[in-house]
Chains A and B, each alone.
Chain A
Amino acid sequence: MQIEQVQEHAGEAAAEGFNAGAVIIEHVANSPIDHPLIHLPTIAGIDLSVTKHVFMLWVVAALVFAAVTIAVRRYLRQDRLVPSGFMNALEAVVEFIRDNVVRPSVGDTWAPTWMPLVMTFFVFILTANAIGLIPVFEVLGLLDHWVLHAGEESFFARLLHGGSTATSNFNVTAALAVVTFFAIIVAGSKAHGAVQHWKNLVPHGVSPFLAVALIPIEILGMLVRPFALTMRLAANMTGGHIAILAILSFVFIFAEMAGSYVGIGVGAAFSVPLAVAITALEIIVVLVQAYVFTLLTAVFIGMAIHAHH
């Protein structure tokens, strides 16, 4: 899938030899913070410059907002609520999330409160995951290499650096998991009151000694949940991409070792078919990981609401 840019880099790297590791990292990791797309001031020691992944988040957010809002508005403007086109799919997703994820987890009473958050998690993560599968920037890179020749310091050239899957960056997934973390606390506090929510950490009726022992375990559990969410999503999104890039790297490794024709032969016979297969698998992973993150968020929120005490 990212064959075009891999080829481009292979061309560039031909002089000093093809470094598969560097190429793969370049295509998965964020663009370097010291070479951001837009320089922004450092506030309280935090560099807020817009890197590739921040940019991708905005693209995803804008895309999701536009697509969903336009579809919903158009749908609601009708006299009779008959969905059509994209709205059919969106409505199916919304009803699936509502009836199979949110309602069973948080209950009918709290479902309307938490539906917007959970729905947004799903569409945002799904879109961010899926955009990473579309080699937009690789095509643009090819265009730049052959036609545009934008300067190395231009915005366009800087846009080409770094991976395009924001959800493969654990900073992004950690931030999303932190939203879940606080959503759990807010859900518990709203359902039981701020004090009772924290008391719910320890099961009711446990002897005081055991309760004292349980407190650190429960707090650990509280922190492990978002950590697991963070790592699961980021690792899954990174892993598939690395696998595809590694397989495509064989083309250039063999080209370097035995000549271009052997490289192209390996690509045609082995790398491209396998990369296509893994990309197909990735489509499933993209869906499943968005679903898992969403489902677990709903389940954790539900656990805080239906704490047994």
Chain B
Amino acid sequence: MNPLVQPDPGLFIWTILTFLVLVGLLARFAWRPLMEALDRRQATIARSLEDAQRAQRELERLQRESTQMMANARAEAETIVSRSRSDAEALREELKQKARAEAAAIVKNAERQIQLETSRAVQQIRQEAVDLSVAIASKILRRQVSKEDNEGLIEETLKQVEARRHV
């Protein structure tokens, strides 16, 4: 028989045995651990991608938030500045007002003081005039005086008044 088509049951059985033993060994030591590892790695990759996506979303959210915060802060700062500016303006106005009022009060006070002094001085002059008249009258009554005497008397009286004024 041609050796190419020679049936060989021994080889047939050896093939089945060899192959099945190889299947068993490879399944136990290579294929199953490898399949599990590949599945695990697939899961890891899927999870990593998911994590990355989540991180990306989180980052975007934070960025949006920080932009919002910055805008808020800027607006607030502007409000504060403008408010303090207007406050300062108000304060200055108030101070000016107060100073003006104070000045007015001082002037008024001085005026009243002057008025008071003036009226007192007038009062005093009036009193003096009365006193002087009384003195002149009494002197006239005491003696008849000549023209020269009269002039001398007036002179004397004026001197007296002058002197009293200087007392």
Contacts and interface: CB of A to CB of B under 8 A. Distances in A.
A124 B31 CA distance: 13
A95 B38 CA distance: 9
A28 B2 CA distance: 12
B5 A48 contact: no
Given A65-B25, A170-B5, A116 B32 contact: yes
B155 to A, nearest CB: 134
Given A33-B8, A49-B10, A179 B16 contact: yes
Contact of B14 (A48, A116, A117): A48
Decide if the interface of chain B is mainly helix, strand, loop or mixed.
Answer: helix
A69 interface: yes
A210 to B, nearest CB: 36
A76 B37 contact: yes
A53 interface: yes
A171 interface: yes
Interface string A98-134: 1000000000000010011101100110000000000
Contacts of B38: 91, 94-95, 98
A76 B34 contact: yes
Contacts of A81: 37, 40-41, 44
Interface string A35-65: 0000010000011111101100110010011
Nearest to B8: A171
A94 B44 CA distance: 19
Contact of A69 (B4, B6, B30): B30
Interface string B35-55: 101101100100000000000
Nearest to A42: B10
Interface of B: 2-16, 18-23, 25-27, 29-35, 37-38, 40-41, 44
Interface of A: 25, 28-30, 32-33, 40, 46-51, 53-54, 57-58, 61, 64-65, 68-69, 72-73, 75-76, 81, 91, 94-95, 98, 112, 115-117, 119-120, 123-124, 166, 169-172, 174-176, 178-179, 238
11 contacts: A33-B8, A48-B10, A51-B8, A57-B19, A61-B22, A65-B25, A72-B34, A81-B37, A115-B35, A119-B26, A120-B31
